[in-house]
Amino acid sequence: MLSRVAESIYWMCRYIERADSVARLINVNLNFILDAPSGQTEQWEPLVNITADDAWFKKKYGRATRHAVTTFLTCDRDYPNSIVSCLRAARENARSVREVISMEMWEFLNRFYLEVNQAVAAGTDELYSSMDFLATMRHYGTLLAGCLDNTMSREEPWYFGRLGQLVERADKTSRSLDVKYFHLLPSVQDVGSTLDENQWAALLRSASSFQMYRQKYGRIAPDKVVEFLLLDRNFPRAILHCITRAEEYLHAISGTPMGSFSNAAEQHIGQLRAELAYAGTTEILRTGLHEYLDQFQTKLNRVGSSIHDVYFALQPTTSR
Amino acid sequence: MIANPTAFLTPESGVIGFTQYAQDGFFDELIGEDGAPRAAARPLVERLERLTYGELLGRQRAAERALLHLGITFQVYSDAQGTEKIFPFDIIPRIIDAAEWRQVEKGLKQRIHALNLFIDDIYHEQRILKEGVIPHELILGAKSFRAACVGLNPPHGIWCHITGTDLVRDRDGTLYVLEDNLRCPSGVSYVIENRRIMKSTFPSLFQNTPIRSVGDYPGRLLDTLLHLAPPGIKNPQAVILTPGMYNSAYFEHSFLAQQMGVELVEGRDLVVFDGHVHMRTTGGFERVDVIYRRVDDDFLDPDVFRPDSMLGVPGLMQVYREGRVALANAPGNGIADDKAVYAYVPDMIRFYLGEDTILPNVPTHLCSREKDLAHVLAHLGEMVVKPVNESGGYGMLVGPAASAAECAAFAEKIKANPRNFIAQPTLGLSRAPVIVEGQLEGRHVDLRPYILYGKDIFVLPGGLTRVALRKGSLVVNSSQGGGSKDTWVLADAPHPGAATVC
């Protein structure tokens, strides 16, 4: 398939995933606040930290109030990673490849975009508190993921789409884990208080993993939450799961057998997957989760840039 | 006292009727001069008369919603505001009966045949100039004449593979050719999508009316393209070359690529090396054999045409010249849709085919001819004057709608460069009913059928009926308030109840 088309599908799916995870974060935080003991200050700053665009935010909005953060994350057209901007980018990418993606994929993405724009046009004050809006987001996010899986052949367009989705998802899970863990750290010794448990539950919920976690571990314990979100092999938003799948799809694209590599993208993701697959939670927590996740993100970025070099930026060789 | 129940009817619940329908002296495509529906339109009118206005409006809205959801839109201004509009669509179709269509089809085939011979002649022997049928300077001085194409031999001698010819009907019912669009005619995707929407709008009519299908156009287009592949290639690869997603016809480019199952490429996806055109793919470079280009000549190859073009492919024309890639439409074919050359098409038909023209031209005055110029200047207020090298309705003067001052100013422009203008009498374009505010009203329409020239010449039975939605307006271009309608060409014998393939 055309390199440009592969790149557009990859980014289309990254942006859909990005919009989806931002919506989930806001939703969880709103829910969390409704549960929090009255008098407690609302915590919105961590959401800004997760984006890693703190400086950008401070310059435009100043203090991290509920209104400022939700506006920033949902409907700020100037901020490239707001929900509105992500959907616009996803749709622009889709528009440039609509002959390759399935008709359903295009149609639902288009409707998603139109509806979100309509909601945004209706006014930010309505929007930020609107659980309705976030429910719509969840609905379409699920719909699009289903479309990708159920309407497209397991061929290159699908593989590149899934790659984009998985790389983005691994990135977002690692960021929210990092930020939340950092904010919760002071209370790690303080095990057992209601707030604490609610905080950890919120982290699990933001990755839609609360129920699956309960089924596997029952009681909420910080080290188990880390183990689940970072190293679970079977939960679809767990980092190891994402990286394992992404490695498989890269190999499906090139036809190279697993266990070997034919290009830099396969090499880098293989190394990353192996590190995670043989890591242990206790060890990670002892040496520092933040350092570990920081390194993980650097390595994940390297995977992203090698995918770009190998598949999207092909150059004719010298004699040409 | 019991009030007359009709007094309670809102406009929504009123029934559709043509009794109040005014024709204002124009030819109407559906309703005859006697106020009764034309034979071909009778089943449609009967169906409409069984609907309330509210029901009709409901179907109109449903059709618009479907177009919006499918993203069949064009951009109004900044996309950031989410302001995309659908190309306005009116669900009342235009209907053409089988006998009339036979004439149209014959006339279009004749015209395309002659135009193609003309282009080939111009870039080779120039017999038609040598024999004095068309003046030399008219051709060699035209902006659309491409010196770079002299002596080129496109595959099978075909220069105009895909054409969209604009037809209009005057008050007396005669169909005229208004323009030949040979370069990159657009709109066929609307023909196909409009039809798809119409089948869910009036399903029962499709079951009971022998409407000819337009659905096989993409397949035929693919055949036309593959026919051009250089000889000896086993699985030739065709692609569509688009200027990109910000082009106003991008939807069509992507639609056609999807329907034909070919790659939609941009200039930056293609590279010329080793004497071939290649595209960049995730599996390396792949050779390309046929390019349906929707990029104008000027931008096609910066080595040969405009050097500042970012949309083209450097080296493309050299590969084309060597016969290792085919281009549709052939570069240089714009010489035949120059509006001054248009006036000579009946002469071409006589010259190359020895036949009389089946579909007449609109009488045309060339301002480059002294006698014509004097006549045009004396009657400016009654004429439509067009620059020869523009399209989309730009830069023209509609005499009857212009003020004396505007006419005077335009006269100066003509005198400064007579070669650049043609003039035609203002036609009373035919009308068709459209849904407006609680009733049906006549609006002016034209018709663009699509013609493919491959192994033979194929005319798609249908076409884009463009409609000037503004009351009284004669301008059907979408940039100026135009919309579209589905065009139903009927098959010869009706088979009531037979399954239709559309």
User: A96: nearest CA in chain B?
Assistant: B245
User: B259: nearest CA in chain A?
Assistant: A99
User: A89: nearest CA in chain B?
Assistant: B80
- Is A287 part of a structural domain of the chain? yes
User: B70: nearest CA in chain A?
Assistant: A107
Per-residue confidence (pLDDT) for residue A318, from 0 to 100: 42
Q: By CB neighbour count within 10 A (0-12 exposed, 13-18 middle, 19+ buried), where does B477 fall?
A: middle
User: What is d(CA B328, CA B452) in angstroms, rounded to the nearest whole number?
Assistant: 11
Q: Picking from A216-230, B9-23, B27-41, which range would have the lowest pLDDT averaged per residue?
A: B9-23
User: What is d(CA B10, CA B2) in angstroms, rounded to the nearest whole number?
Assistant: 18
To the nearest whole angstrom, how far is the Cα of B271 from the nearest Cα of chain A? 8
- Is A100 part of a structural domain of the chain? yes
- Is A320 part of a structural domain of the chain? no
Report pLDDT digits (tens) over B360-418: 999 999 998 889 999 999 999 999 999 887 666 678 888 888 899 999 999 999 999 88
To the nearest whole angstrom, how far is the Cα of A18 from the nearest Cα of chain B? 19
**In the beta sheet, which residues pair with residue B434?**
B441
Q: Do B245 and A117 touch (CB under 8 A)?
A: no
Q: Helices (H), strands (E): how many in chain A?
A: 16, 0
DSSP string, A205-259: HHTT-HHHHHHHH-S--HHHHHHHHHH-SSSTTSHHHHHHHHHHHHHHHH-PPTT
ipTM of the complex: 0.71
Residues A220, A238, single domain; the answer is yes
Per-residue confidence (pLDDT) for residue B499, from 0 to 100: 45
Q: Considering chain B, what percentage of its residues have pLDDT values greater than 90?
A: 66
Of A117, A135, A152, which residue is a domain's last? A152
Residues A158, A297, single domain; the answer is yes
User: What is d(CA B423, CA B223) in angstroms, rounded to the nearest whole number?
Assistant: 39
Q: Is B258 near chain A, with CB under 8 Å?
A: yes
Residues A74, A181, single domain; the answer is no
Per-residue confidence (pLDDT) for residue A126, from 0 to 100: 53
Report DSSP state, residue B351.
I
Per-residue confidence (pLDDT) for residue B375, from 0 to 100: 92
Q: Do A107 and B264 touch (CB under 8 A)?
A: no
To the nearest whole angstrom, how far is the Cα of B494 from the nearest Cα of chain A? 34
Average pLDDT for B229-247: 92
Q: Do B82 and A114 touch (CB under 8 A)?
A: yes
Q: What are phi and psi for residue A290, nearest 5 degrees?
A: -60, -45
Residue A99: which of B71, B254, B279 has the nearest Cβ? B254
Residue B71: which of A96, A106, A118 has the nearest Cβ? A106
Residue B281: which of A1, A99, A319 has the nearest Cβ? A1
Torsion, CA B452, CA B457, CA B462, CA B465, rounded to 10: 60
Per-residue confidence (pLDDT) for residue A136, from 0 to 100: 83
Residues A113, A69, single domain; the answer is yes
Q: Is A99 near chain B, with CB under 8 Å?
A: yes
Query: A203: closest CA among A57, A31, A71?
Result: A31
Residues A225, A126, single domain; the answer is no
Chain A contact set for B268 (CB, 8 A): 4
Mean pLDDT score across all residues of chain B: 89
User: B272: nearest CA in chain A?
Assistant: A320
Question: Cα angle at A254 between A150 and B276, to 5 degrees?
Answer: 105
Query: B115: closest CA among B170, B168, B185, B174?
Result: B185
Of A111, A126, A152, which residue is a domain's last? A152
Strands (E), B97-174: 162-169
Q: Is A59 near chain B, with CB under 8 Å?
A: no
Residues A88, A176, single domain; the answer is no
Q: Is A115 near chain B, with CB under 8 Å?
A: no
Residues A117, A221, single domain; the answer is no
B24: left (phi over 0), alpha (psi -120 to 50) or beta: left
H or E segment and range at residue B450: strand B450-453
Q: A195-204, B162-171, B305-314: which has the highest mean pLDDT?
A: B162-171
User: A116: nearest CA in chain B?
Assistant: B82
Q: Which of B280, B286, B288, B292 to mutate to test the interface with A (most CBs of A within 10 A)?
A: B280
Q: Do B254 and A118 touch (CB under 8 A)?
A: no
Residues A240, A194, single domain; the answer is yes
Q: Is A1 near chain B, with CB under 8 Å?
A: yes
Query: A54: closest CA among A171, A179, A230, A239?
Result: A179
Report DSSP state, residue A319.
T
Per-residue confidence (pLDDT) for residue B83, from 0 to 100: 56
Supply B312's token pair.
Answer: 């083209």
Q: Is A114 near chain B, with CB under 8 Å?
A: yes
Q: Number of structural domains, chain A? A: 2
Coil, strand or helix: which one is B301?
A: coil
Residue B69: which of A77, A107, A118 has the nearest Cβ? A107
Q: Is B370 near chain A, with CB under 8 Å?
A: no
Q: Is A255 near chain B, with CB under 8 Å?
A: no
Q: Is B74 near chain A, with CB under 8 Å?
A: no
| CA distances in angstroms from A179 to A60, A69, A209, listed in the order given | 22, 16, 17
Q: Is A155 near chain B, with CB under 8 Å?
A: no
To the nearest whole angstrom, how far is the Cα of A311 from the nearest Cα of chain B? 5
What structural domains and CATH numbers belong to chain B? Answer: 7-92 (no CATH), 231-324 (3.40.50.11290), 365-425 (3.30.1490.270)
Report pLDDT digits (tens) over A107-119: 899 999 988 888 8
Q: Is B248 near chain A, with CB under 8 Å?
A: no
Supply B400's token pair.
Answer: 């009857």
Per-residue confidence (pLDDT) for residue A193, from 0 to 100: 56
Q: Do A314 and B244 touch (CB under 8 A)?
A: no
Interface A–B counts its CB contacts (< 8 A) at 71
Q: Do A96 and B263 touch (CB under 8 A)?
A: no
Report DSSP state, residue B349.
I
Q: Is A136 near chain B, with CB under 8 Å?
A: no
Of A112, A135, A152, which residue is a domain's last? A152
Q: Do A2 and B255 touch (CB under 8 A)?
A: no
Residues A296, A162, single domain; the answer is yes
- Is A318 part of a structural domain of the chain? no
Q: Do B282 and A121 touch (CB under 8 A)?
A: no
| pLDDT by position in tens, chain A (length 320) | 899 999 999 999 999 999 999 988 888 787 777 776 666 677 888 889 888 899 999 999 999 988 899 889 988 999 999 999 999 999 999 988 888 898 889 989 999 998 888 888 776 555 455 677 888 888 899 999 999 999 999 999 999 999 999 999 999 999 888 887 777 665 455 545 555 777 788 888 888 888 999 999 988 888 899 999 999 999 999 999 999 999 999 999 999 999 999 999 999 999 999 999 999 999 998 888 989 999 999 999 999 999 999 999 877 664 43
Q: Which of A96, A116, A158, A263 to mutate to test the interface with B (most CBs of B within 10 A)?
A: A96
Per-residue confidence (pLDDT) for residue B80, from 0 to 100: 47
Residues A141, A169, single domain; the answer is no
User: What is d(CA B305, CA B144) in angstroms, rounded to the nearest whole number?
Assistant: 12
Residues A210, A256, single domain; the answer is yes
Query: Could you identify the residue written with the tokens 């606040």?
Result: A33
Torsion, CA A150, CA A152, CA A156, CA A158, rounded to 10: -40
Q: Who's near A202: CB < 8 A, 6+ residues apart?
A: A28, A29, A31, A32, A180
Residues A146, A1, single domain; the answer is yes
Q: Is A316 near chain B, with CB under 8 Å?
A: yes
Per-residue confidence (pLDDT) for residue B3, from 0 to 100: 43
Task: Read off the pLDDT band of B339 (50, 70, 90).
Answer: confident
- Is A95 part of a structural domain of the chain? yes
Residue A4: which of B68, B70, B269 has the nearest Cβ? B269
Query: Who wins on pLDDT, B475 or B26?
Result: B26
Residue A3: which of B244, B255, B282 has the nearest Cβ? B282
Residue A320: which of B69, B273, B281 has the nearest Cβ? B273
- Is A319 part of a structural domain of the chain? no
- pLDDT at residue B224 greater than cutoff 90: yes
User: What is d(CA B251, CA B244) in angstroms, rounded to the nearest whole number?
Assistant: 10
Domain range for residue A98? Answer: 1-152
User: A311: nearest CA in chain B?
Assistant: B282
Average pLDDT for B470-499: 77
Q: Is B271 near chain A, with CB under 8 Å?
A: yes
Chain A contact set for B282 (CB, 8 A): 1-3, 6, 156, 160, 253, 311
Per-residue confidence (pLDDT) for residue B150, from 0 to 100: 95
